[in-house]
Amino acid sequence: MNINMKESVVVAVREAPYRNTGMQGINDIERSVLEFSRECPKAVIVDGTVYSFDHSFDSKVSQEQLYRTLIHPLVLKALAGYDCTAMAYGQTGTGKSYSMGMSAERMSEEHVGIVPRCLKDILKYMNINDQKENHAAMGEVFASFIEVYNEKAYDLLAVDVNEPLTSRTHPRFTGGTCMPMKSQKDLLQILMLGTKNRHVRATNMNNNSSRSHAIVTIHIQQGFQHSRLNIIDLAGSESVRRTGNEGVARAEGVFINMGLMGINKVMASLSAGRSLIPYRESILTTVLQASLNSQCSLTLLVCISPHASDLNETLSTIRFAKNAKQMKITPQLSQQIQQMQEMHQNRSSAQTTSNQSITQNLGRLLPNSVNIRRRPPLSSNPGARNSFSISIPPGAQPNSRKRARRAQNALLSSSDESDTGVAPTGVISPTVAEFLKLKKEYAELQRGLRELREQRAQPEVQAEEPPLAAERPQPSQLTFREFNSDLSSIAEEGDAIPPPPFRIFTSSPTIYNNQNAGLLRMSGVSSAPTASSSGAAVAAAEPMPGRLSTRLNSRQAQLIQDITNGQDQRPLRRSSRIASQSGGPPTERNEPAERTEGNERAEGPSQLRATSALAAIGERFTMDSTVGSQRARLSKHRAELLSLLNTASVKDLQALPQIGPKTAMALIMQRSVLGHFRNWKQVEKLPIWKDISWSRFAKAVCIEIDP
Ligand SMILES: Nc1ncnc2c1ncn2[C@@H]1O[C@H](COP(=O)(O)OP(=O)(O)OP(=O)(O)O)[C@@H](O)[C@H]1O
């Protein structure tokens, strides 16, 4: 098959089948306003006027035929490293969700839609299967599922789906949870999870009308190359008069139309070849910035109704399709990939001078004022990759700093020897089943905490009951216990802690996530001019299951404190004081912490997590106990603290004693290079500790005590 990689916009129309009128269950017998002619297979005749597109499909077209003709070329492009988008647009009830295959319902093969078919082909082409040791695999595939509902974006795979990723007040979008895909079953599971959480409602026009715009993104990672296939099911444009919606449904309709209008404006600007595209006018376009831009191949499927009563909407949809065709898009491999390819070539062509060529390549990116120098490999870690550093003069302009940082990230990823391999080291990809298990545990934990709070809120009832901790094992406590026994056993094996198990693709090269900075930069909203700062990105990726362990620990700390200490006012360490000032443990997402005078310093859940973990540390070491249990507690503590070090952001790290901004930054950089810290010995040998700073730190966080 010949694929034109440079073909920019492909537009196709699909006729919807007749829908039931709802009047005594008789089929609609209106005359169809659509005609399709054999002589002109790419055209559709709407009420006598001919409109030509790249493809036109009547209502008899099968799902397979639609996929093969329209989407399969896009899949091949995505596999070749191009970012691609398939988008369905049209009036409500015309079969957009059906075509896209967003549903996880069991259905016969003939009804399976675009998303599962795409994934099936991608997995097939990349030789990926769910066998444990899959050496033949040519890369990795991940999928995320996001919806935009009422001008807020939600991660449908997040631990807490009610927490918006972005809203009018917080418009930064950094992408959603990415789950590894090894089989169709994995996809089915995330579709089930996503569609269960997605907003749908019965309206006059559709029994199962999507009230949100949904985006499934399939990330394809092949060595240093990362491309995305975005599959977008837009909610149907609707006329409030015809749908007869009232109240919430009516408001939803307004938001749906607002998002669609935003897309129209973006498309008009791209058609006019303007450099300033109004992505910020709606949350939908903010989220779609990575999928709807001048470099991303677009295939638009417009679904139109054959009913005469829908003629106005059909004509409006046709106009939309015509405008889309005018868009000036030049699909190209992202600059990042080009750079990486260039570097790769340089490296393989001259092995001995490889580092020089990387430096030279990067040198071109950098302003003259910024110097690159190469550091020797970390002697303590035999597997450590060569590390580089870029020194930025204090007076450098903000732009120079930005470019330097970008180059530093590229440098880090290029110095990663795994960049030509399948996966970056230090990242474990959990299965969907593992994720669901974690999610269930988290739900149990929340329930347990809720029950606990309720009981604490009723002291008189509680007084009649036996003490809570001794009497009734809460589901959350059980979870904690299991979780801790895992941690302890890991700790006993030499403090080895698994790295954060989940990978989040974010829009910006956040220091937090830059284990493979090149990869991260290419994902999410790749070229967002308002790329988020590391802190913001961490906050936006908050429901990141990879940091669930830290969340569990802080919850645990709270639970233990609640049960054992009650209102105990023992003096705490500095960090613990911060925790207590900040109003204690993190609150649940839907119940923001009350802002009191004292807790103003606690700036976010991640900060709270770090500080409350420290509170737990303080508590743990002031309690009397036997030597044996102290030893167990110490290994648990060391393991937990190491886990914190492996997951915390720059800001979180600064909550630890003896860690200032510079050390925090250096720790994060080292973590990025190494993948993760395997044990405390490795941390101790890092070149970041000056003179006696390590021993001070170790003393302050109680990890050097040998019980
Ligand atoms: N080509 C088709 N073949 C068989 N059934 C179809 C076809 N197109 C749509 N349907 C059916 O029509 C109904 C409405 O379709 P769907 O929910 O996909 O519409 P929609 O455009 O996504 O609507 P909304 O925008 O309100 O979400 C569904 O029951 C779907 O199964």
Q: Looking at per-residue confidence, does 427 or 100 come out higher?
A: 100
Q: Looking at per-residue confidence, does 298 or 623 come out higher?
A: 298
Per-residue pLDDT averaged across 679-686, rounded? 84
Name, in order, each residue with C-beta under 8 angstroms of 546's C-beta and a sequence gap of 6 or more: 500, 501, 502, 503, 504, 647
Return the pLDDT at 257.
85
Please tell me the residue having the least CA distance from ligand 1 atom 9.
95
Beta pairing, strands 9-15 & 55-57: parallel
Per-residue pLDDT averaged across 70-84, rounded? 90
How much distance in Å is there from the Cα of 163 to the middle of ligand 1?
A: 29
**C-beta of 96 in contact with ligand 1 (< 6 A):** yes
Q: How confident is the model at residue 344 (pLDDT cuts 50, 70, 90)?
A: low
Return the pLDDT at 336.
54
The candidate with the shortest Cα–Cα distance to 646, out of 619, 683, 686, is 683
Return the pLDDT at 546.
31
Question: Burial letters for 280-289: b for 16+ Cβ neighbours within 10 Å, e otherwise?
Answer: ebbbbbbbbb
Per-residue pLDDT averaged across 438-448, rounded? 68
How much distance in Å is there from the Cα of 72 to the middle of ligand 1?
A: 21
Q: How confident is the model at residue 442 (pLDDT cuts 50, 70, 90)?
A: low
Q: How confident is the model at residue 341 (pLDDT cuts 50, 70, 90)?
A: low
For the chain, which residues make up each domain, given as ranges?
Answer: 9-19+29-325, 335-415, 477-502+544-700
Cβ neighbours, 10 Å, residue 412: 25
Partners of 200 in the β-ladder = 210
Highest-pLDDT range among 372-381, 583-592, 686-695: 686-695
- Give the tokens for residue 259: 């998002």
Cα distance between the two ends of the chain? 69
DSSP string, 194-249: HHHHS-EE--SS-TTEE-SEEEEEEEEEETTEEEEEEEEEPPPB--HHHH---HHH
Residue pair 340/224 in contact (Cβ under 8 Å)? The answer is yes
**C-beta of 305 in contact with ligand 1 (< 6 A):** no
Taking only the tens place, the pLDDT of each residue in 61-75 is 999 999 999 999 999
Residue pair 411/660 in contact (Cβ under 8 Å)? The answer is no
Residue pair 596/580 in contact (Cβ under 8 Å)? The answer is no
How much distance in Å is there from the Cα of 519 to the middle of ligand 1?
A: 36
Q: Looking at per-residue confidence, does 661 or 551 come out higher?
A: 661
The candidate with the shortest Cα–Cα distance to 230, out of 106, 325, 100, 109, is 100
Q: How confident is the model at residue 431 (pLDDT cuts 50, 70, 90)?
A: low
Return the pLDDT at 406.
60
Q: How confident is the model at residue 635 (pLDDT cuts 50, 70, 90)?
A: confident
Token pair 């709070």 in the structure block, residue: 453
Return the pLDDT at 491.
35
Annotated binding site for ATP: 90-97
Return the pLDDT at 71.
94
Out of 98, 108, 109, mutate this one to test ligand 1's pocket (max ligand atoms within 8 Å of CB): namely 98
**C-beta of 304 in contact with ligand 1 (< 6 A):** no
Cβ neighbours, 10 Å, residue 62: 11
User: How far is the C-alpha of 632 from the C-alpha of 634, rounded, in Å?
Assistant: 5
**C-beta of 17 in contact with ligand 1 (< 6 A):** yes
How much distance in Å is there from the Cα of 25 to the middle of ligand 1?
A: 17
The candidate with the shortest Cα–Cα distance to 555, out of 467, 623, 436, 474, is 474
Beta pairing, strands 34-35 & 209-210: unpaired
**C-beta of 94 in contact with ligand 1 (< 6 A):** yes
User: How far is the C-alpha of 507 from the C-alpha of 288, rounded, in Å?
Assistant: 12
Stretch among 71-80, 513-522, 579-588 having the lowest mean pLDDT: 513-522
**C-beta of 101 in contact with ligand 1 (< 6 A):** no
User: Of all residues in the chain, what percent carry a pLDDT higher than 90?
Assistant: 12
**C-beta of 176 in contact with ligand 1 (< 6 A):** no
Q: Is the pLDDT of residue 687 over 70?
A: yes
Q: Is the pLDDT of residue 547 over 60?
A: no
For the CA of 209, the closest atom of ligand 1 is 26
Return the pLDDT at 128.
84
Token pair 């444990």 in the structure block, residue: 132
Cα 202 to the center of its chain, rounded Å: 30
Please tell me the residue having the least CA distance from ligand 1 atom 3.
17
Taking only the tens place, the pLDDT of each residue in 316-335 is 999 999 988 888 887 777 55
Per-residue pLDDT averaged across 592-613, rounded? 42
Question: Burial letters for 615-637: b for 16+ Cβ neighbours within 10 Å, e otherwise?
Answer: bbbbbbbeeeeeeeebebbbbbb
The candidate with the shortest Cα–Cα distance to 267, out of 330, 324, 329, is 324
Q: Is the pLDDT of residue 182 over 50?
A: yes
User: How far is the C-alpha of 409 from the C-alpha of 669, rounded, in Å?
Assistant: 9
For the CA of 100, the closest atom of ligand 1 is 18
Return the pLDDT at 75.
92
For the CA of 303, the closest atom of ligand 1 is 21
Token pair 């919806």 in the structure block, residue: 147
Stretch among 308-317, 387-396, 474-483 having the lowest mean pLDDT: 474-483
Highest-pLDDT range among 6-15, 57-66, 199-208, 617-626: 57-66
User: How far is the C-alpha of 506 from the C-alpha of 513, rounded, in Å?
Assistant: 8
Token pair 């092995």 in the structure block, residue: 351
Residue 484 carries which side chain, given as an amino acid letter?
N
- Give the tokens for residue 323: 């405008």
Cβ neighbours, 10 Å, residue 381: 16
User: How far is the C-alpha of 502 from the C-alpha of 435, rounded, in Å?
Assistant: 9
Q: Percent helix, strand and coil across the chain, each rounded to 5?
A: 45, 15, 40
Largest CA distance in the chain: 89
Return the pLDDT at 500.
35
How much distance in Å is there from the Cα of 96 to the middle of ligand 1?
A: 6
Q: What number does CATH give the domain 9-19+29-325?
A: 3.40.850.10
**C-beta of 253 in contact with ligand 1 (< 6 A):** no
Return the pLDDT at 304.
93
Taking only the tens place, the pLDDT of each residue in 230-246 is 999 998 876 766 666 67
Residue pair 285/266 in contact (Cβ under 8 Å)? The answer is yes
How much distance in Å is there from the Cα of 100 to the middle of ligand 1?
A: 10
**C-beta of 98 in contact with ligand 1 (< 6 A):** yes
Name, in order, each residue with C-beta under 8 angstroms of 273's C-beta and a sequence gap of 6 or more: 328
Q: Looking at per-residue confidence, does 694 or 483 come out higher?
A: 694
Taking only the tens place, the pLDDT of each residue in 112-170 is 999 999 999 999 888 887 776 666 778 888 899 999 988 888 888 887 777 788 776 77
Please tell me the residue having the least CA distance from ligand 1 atom 18.
95
- Give the tokens for residue 301: 């499927």
Q: Looking at per-residue confidence, does 161 or 576 come out higher?
A: 161
Return the pLDDT at 248.
74
Return the pLDDT at 579.
40
User: How far is the C-alpha of 81 from the C-alpha of 126, rounded, in Å?
Assistant: 13
Q: How confident is the model at residue 472 (pLDDT cuts 50, 70, 90)?
A: very low
- Give the tokens for residue 76: 């091949």
Per-residue pLDDT averaged across 253-267, rounded? 88
**C-beta of 92 in contact with ligand 1 (< 6 A):** yes
143: enclosing H helix or E strand:
strand 140-149
Q: Is the pLDDT of residue 648 over 70?
A: yes
Beta pairing, strands 387-391 & 371-375: antiparallel
